[in-house]
Chain A
Amino acid sequence: MARDPIVLADQARAGNQAAGARLIRMLEEGEEGALQGLRALLPASGKAHLLGITGPPGAGKSTLVDRIVSEFRRRERRVGVIAVDPSSPFSGGAILGDRVRMQTHATDPGVFIRSMATRGQLGGLARTSFEAASVLDAMGYDVVVIETVGVGQDEVDVVELAQTTAVVSIPGMGDGIQSIKAGILEIGDIFVVNKADLPGADRVVRQLTAMLHLRDSAAGGWEPRIVKTEAERARGIAELVDGFEAHHQHLAATGDLQRKAVQRRERVFYDVLRERAAARVLAATPGGGKEILASLRSGRLDPYEAVDSLLGTQKELE
């Protein structure tokens, strides 16, 4: 396969899955030129509906995503999926098993599923999830679903990436919705009560309603929806997808879509700036900053001193 990012970008835009996949891989691994390929795709991106699915482990997210994909396919949308699983902190390896639950779509050319490992990234996503989503967007997938790790942490990163964020909970997880952190409650656009056939589902709905009532909502703002589903039996899925589409239309109508895009651009700008600036500073430091790092590790410098020292050194060099 070609390794020229521009060629890959062209092929990906024409719908070649292998080329798109290779570009995502190059981005993920920070290969030289990968960003060139991405930039070549950017003009073609920005059309997809970016949908984030988050929620605690055991909430049935993968099965839910599988059913959501089916429903979008029924509506003749092409769907990309980015499923994030954690990397092992010990070996750096990972077992990515989300495809297991999405077998229905394994040979559907209108569906592209990419598993990603967090590779040390916190916040529920992989470092290059956004870039991967942009590639899928440019490849013409109408909807890109991003499923977060779901380790029950505050996985709020997805909100900055996605246009619509769905928070999944199920009955019987501790005390109702305790498992949903307050922060997540603030950011969800759609709240899914999955496994709604279990006892206590209505109670979760009531609790959510009460808590969402406390949420500030400006006049004309989006009223968060609560949808009951039984993903396993594909119940409530059409209603859920209606909700996604309604939210998307709402964003478009209010100009929020545009605002979110700007926010996202800014976020990416800062992320990339931070990353590259750090790389540059280290590169410009004699020995790549190894001495300072050694002092940091041995405890002779605290992290703040270490940065001061690093930036100070560089200044002197200039």
Chain B
Amino acid sequence: MSTAPREPLGSDEFEEPKPSESTPSSPESAALDAAETTWRREVLDPALAKQGERQESFVTQQMHWPVKDLYTPKDLEEIGFDYHEDVGFPGQYPYTRGTTPAGYRQDLWKMLQVTGFGTANDSAERWSKMLEQGLNGFIIEYDLPTTNGYDSDHPLAEGEVARAGTAIDTLADMEQALDLPWDKLQHLNSVCNAPQPVNLAMILAALEKRGIEPSSFTLQMSNAILIEYTCVGRYIYPPKHGLRIATDCIEYTIRNHPNWIPITVVSAQLYAARANPVQELAFGFSIAMEYLDATLARGFDIDEVAPYWSFVTGLEMDFFEAVSKLRAYRKIWARLMKERYGAKRHESMQLKLISSPGTTGLTLQQPLNNIARLGIQTLACALGGGAYAITTPLHDEAHALPSEEAVRVGIAVQNIVAHETGVADTVDPLAGSYLVESMTRKMEDEVFAEIERVDAMGGALAAIEAGYFQKELARSQRDRHREIEDGARKQIGVNHLVQDGEKRTIEMFKLGQQAEELQVEQLVRVRAERDEDLVAKTLERVREAAIGDENLVPPIMEAVKAYATQGEICDVMRDVFGVYHPDSLTSGV
């Protein structure tokens, strides 16, 4: 692996000499300096003498980077901004302006919808309706028992079955869930990290039963177990075993279903856990590289696998931080692939990114305000460019599960930004902005510095095992909370323009009383009807594979087809790998 040629501040071996105020590098620059000095003296200062600035200092919302009153060509000169090296053309290295040459002029982003709750039948009905409404893909979220590898009749599952997503116990459930208008579906995203090989095997087996050609659509798996250890909490096995089964899925998919996406680094989850943009990118990329290294160890070449890596990011309200983050996101990935891994193919260096407005920026108070927030975040997504899909934001998300109205408004928000504002009509419209380019560079430098810190610990897996990511995030969570509580950061409806006596009503999606019962009934029925010997035999094969180093997906597929439950399959692996109990998330903070 080669080192990045442009090191972050501090090691300036490769840095070009920086022009500074005292030694302007060109006559134009000298003239600009003089003009600015005059402007400050004769125009700005007298104006401020009458009335000072409204704040003592201005900083960005998350990074707390100082924001100057004015950005000029001098700022670009100071960072040695080079159009070709830093920005280039759309569809060309380093892809700062976008990964495709024509951007949204050619194709708008895909409008995705996160959804899924109830039994598999309820979900299929709802998804079909959404596809009819004009969405072309969606994300399947499973309920907590499913994502934690428990069957619906496990004692811990009580009250959670089919609540936060679809319940899948056996292949029978998956067959029902995938009863969809396949002609309209282009993209399916499945979020089931800890039991990912079981989930993949179930989808494959269900497609086979339904006679659907796997290559007719794109299945995107999150397979994001390292993020689960870092901040989400839906893990089962110790981290290194989590990484192994994730890698099994990646390897299997690349070898057998080359048009699918076997890994998604959901840095949006880090973000929801209050990572600031630098942490989000640095931790996210470190995690991405940990999967990549594990996959390369299975005998692939970087250019065979890197194109499969894809990311989901979240956005916040600080507009320029958001835009700079999206631009830096693409550039850093391109540099990592080229400089560290020696990738040659463009596809390896082109970041595949889904942007996700919402989550942390929304407030429980005055929920309608969130529609404005979502509009602005979606605008930042569009202007930051490069995301091939944007999830549909939901203004009542902070409350609970989304209402039908929120889904409709969310789709409308996306379409308003796409069709009414004109921002999608030219590629990377903010390129060249003195502020945006300065901030993009700063983002890039700080992310590289943090990635190197994680490298020094031995990479993402070691950092997770040592609790580094977790502790850093816990600190961010506390600081962020304090800023809002002490008013250092304004949030409308929360600490500014507060509506006295506002009644906060929280409504949650109400499950039909019977959802859990129905699910358990189906599970019991499937268990009663299957061939127990075959189940035992196939589970034994899963155990052997887990003990050894053979890829787990094929033996799990056999068990799935024998209608072994996902809880049973996960239990076999629990037995072999052990169960993970992390360090207290907060001790040592």
**Do B581 and A63 have beta carbons less than 8 Å apart?**
yes
| Contact indicator per residue, chain B 569-589, by CB within 8 Å of chain A (1) or not (0) | 000000001101111111111
Give the distance in Å from the alpha carbon of A100 to the alpha carbon of B582 in the complex.
7
User: In this assembly, does A137 line the interface, its C-beta being within 8 Å of a C-beta of chain B?
Assistant: no
**Do B583 and A62 have beta carbons less than 8 Å apart?**
yes
Nearest residue (CB) in B for A101 is B581
Q: Within 8 Å CB of B238, what residues of A?
A: 232
**Do A97 and B586 have beta carbons less than 8 Å apart?**
yes
Give the distance in Å from the alpha carbon of A62 to the alpha carbon of B585 in the complex.
14
Residues of B in contact (CB 8 Å), total: 14
Give the distance in Å from the alpha carbon of A96 to the alpha carbon of B586 in the complex.
9
Give the distance in Å from the alpha carbon of A66 to the alpha carbon of B578 in the complex.
13
**Do B578 and A234 have beta carbons less than 8 Å apart?**
yes
Nearest residue (CB) in B for A103 is B581
User: In this assembly, does B466 line the interface, its C-beta being within 8 Å of a C-beta of chain A?
Assistant: yes
**Do B584 and A95 have beta carbons less than 8 Å apart?**
yes
Q: Is chain B's interface secondary structure helix, strand, loop, or mixed overall?
A: loop
Q: From the candidates B466, B581, B586, name the one contacting A95 in the complex (CB within 8 A).
A: B586
User: In this assembly, does A131 line the interface, its C-beta being within 8 Å of a C-beta of chain B?
Assistant: no
User: In this assembly, does A142 line the interface, its C-beta being within 8 Å of a C-beta of chain B?
Assistant: no
User: In this assembly, does A215 line the interface, its C-beta being within 8 Å of a C-beta of chain B?
Assistant: no
Q: From the candidates B466, B582, B587, name the one contacting A85 in the complex (CB within 8 A).
A: B587
Q: Within 8 Å CB of B578, what residues of A?
A: 232-234
Instruction: For the complex formed, measure the closest distance between the CB of A158 and the CB atoms of chain B, giving whole angstroms.
Output: 19
Q: Within 8 Å CB of A100, what residues of B?
A: 581-584
Nearest residue (CB) in B for A172 is B458
Give the distance in Å from the alpha carbon of A85 to the alpha carbon of B589 in the complex.
12
| Contact indicator per residue, chain A 90-108, by CB within 8 Å of chain B (1) or not (0) | 0000011110111100000
User: In this assembly, does A58 line the interface, its C-beta being within 8 Å of a C-beta of chain B?
Assistant: yes
Q: Is chain A's interface secondary structure helix, strand, loop, or mixed overall?
A: helix
Give the distance in Å from the alpha carbon of A97 to the alpha carbon of B587 in the complex.
6
Q: Within 8 Å CB of B584, what residues of A?
A: 95-98, 100
Instruction: For the complex formed, measure the closest distance between the CB of A47 and the CB atoms of chain B, giving whole angstroms.
Output: 31
Instruction: For the complex formed, measure the closest distance between the CB of B155 and the CB atoms of chain A, giving whole angstroms.
Output: 12
Give the distance in Å from the alpha carbon of A96 to the alpha carbon of B587 in the complex.
7
* Chain B 536-582 residues near chain A, CB threshold 8 A: 577-578, 580-582
Q: Within 8 Å CB of B581, what residues of A?
A: 63, 66, 100-103
Q: Within 8 Å CB of B587, what residues of A?
A: 85, 95-97
Instruction: For the complex formed, measure the closest distance between the CB of B498 and the CB atoms of chain A, giving whole angstroms.
Output: 29
**Do A97 and B585 have beta carbons less than 8 Å apart?**
yes
Q: Within 8 Å CB of B586, what residues of A?
A: 95, 97
Instruction: For the complex formed, measure the closest distance between the CB of A206 and the CB atoms of chain B, giving whole angstroms.
Output: 23
* Chain A 208-260 residues near chain B, CB threshold 8 A: 232-234
With A58-B466, A232-B578, A233-B578 given, is the CB distance from A95 to B589 under 8 Å? yes
Q: Within 8 Å CB of A57, what residues of B?
A: 588
* Chain A 261-302 residues near chain B, CB threshold 8 A: none
Nearest residue (CB) in A for B576 is A233
Nearest residue (CB) in A for B586 is A95
Q: Within 8 Å CB of A66, what residues of B?
A: 581
Instruction: For the complex formed, measure the closest distance between the CB of A103 and the CB atoms of chain B, giving whole angstroms.
Output: 6
Give the distance in Å from the alpha carbon of A97 to the alpha carbon of B589 in the complex.
12
| Contact indicator per residue, chain A 44-58, by CB within 8 Å of chain B (1) or not (0) | 000000000000011
Instruction: For the complex formed, measure the closest distance between the CB of B584 and the CB atoms of chain A, giving whole angstroms.
Output: 2
**Do A101 and B583 have beta carbons less than 8 Å apart?**
yes
Q: Within 8 Å CB of B589, what residues of A?
A: 95
Instruction: For the complex formed, measure the closest distance between the CB of B95 and the CB atoms of chain A, giving whole angstroms.
Output: 38
* Chain A 37-84 residues near chain B, CB threshold 8 A: 57-58, 62-63, 66
Q: From the candidates B466, B577, B580, B583, name the one contacting A97 in the complex (CB within 8 A).
A: B583
Instruction: For the complex formed, measure the closest distance between the CB of A181 and the CB atoms of chain B, giving whole angstroms.
Output: 20
Give the distance in Å from the alpha carbon of A274 to the alpha carbon of B236 in the complex.
50
Give the distance in Å from the alpha carbon of A85 to the alpha carbon of B580 in the complex.
21
Instruction: For the complex formed, measure the closest distance between the CB of A16 and the CB atoms of chain B, giving whole angstroms.
Output: 27
Nearest residue (CB) in B for A97 is B584
Q: Within 8 Å CB of A58, what residues of B?
A: 466
* Chain A 131-187 residues near chain B, CB threshold 8 A: none
Instruction: For the complex formed, measure the closest distance between the CB of B583 and the CB atoms of chain A, giving whole angstroms.
Output: 7
- What are some 18 contacts across the A-B interface (CB < 8 A)? A63-B581, A95-B584, A95-B587, A95-B589, A97-B587, A98-B584, A100-B581, A100-B582, A100-B583, A100-B584, A101-B581, A101-B583, A102-B581, A103-B581, A232-B238, A232-B580, A233-B578, A234-B578
Known pairs A103-B581, A232-B238 / 11 extra A-B pairs, C-beta < 8 Å: A66-B581, A95-B586, A95-B587, A97-B583, A97-B584, A97-B585, A100-B581, A100-B583, A101-B583, A232-B578, A233-B577
Q: Which 6 A-B pairs have the closest CB atoms?
A: A97-B584, A97-B587, A101-B581, A233-B578, A95-B586, A100-B584
Q: Which residues of B contact A (CB under 8 A)?
A: 238, 466, 577-578, 580-589
